[in-house]
Amino acid sequence: MTLQPATERDTALIVAIAQSSDDSLLPDSAIAHCINQQQLMLVVEGGQPIGFIAEKIILDEAELLQVVIGADYRKSGRATEALYSWHQYLAQREVKQVFLEVREGNEAALRLYEKLGYTKIGVRKNYYVIAGVKYNALLMQKTLC
């Protein structure tokens, strides 16, 4: 598995992957913005894109905006492997801290992030509104080095 920067020609594929996920919160316009800002990495396996990571890196800190693995590849450890690769990429760029927010109640994502060494550092009350229902966002952090 490798990570590679997404380009404009990857937009339709990334939108399709995002739409295959119940948890993707990135609208099409945000995907295009992330690509233009070089904040989106394709997760590639066997030469085929199977997912993406949206990120924001500022100096020695990074924020994981979204990780999405295509529906045909889920529940197989690929998100774990993709995030391990991403952490290695960040370490090479001398990133020391990684932050993310996750919807409270998204147990699969919480287990993944905790397994990777993220710890909860705060809560944003009623941060997400999905189908008219409000959810808290849990803030998490990981130290890379």
Contacts of 88 (CB under 8 A, 6+ apart): none
Spot the catalytic one: 101, 104, 107, 128: 101
Question: What is the helix (H) or strand (E) element at residue 135, kind and residue range?
Answer: strand 133-143
Extract the runs of DSSP E, i.e. beta strands, from 1-103: 2-5, 40-45, 48-58, 61-69, 97-103
The verdict on whether 84 is a catalytic residue reads no
- 140 bridge partner residues: 100, 120
Amino acid at the residue 92: Q
Active site residue 113: yes
Exactly one of 45, 113, 114, 118 is catalytic; which is it? 113
| Separation of alpha carbons 125 and 53, rounded Å | 25
The residues that are catalytic are 101, 113
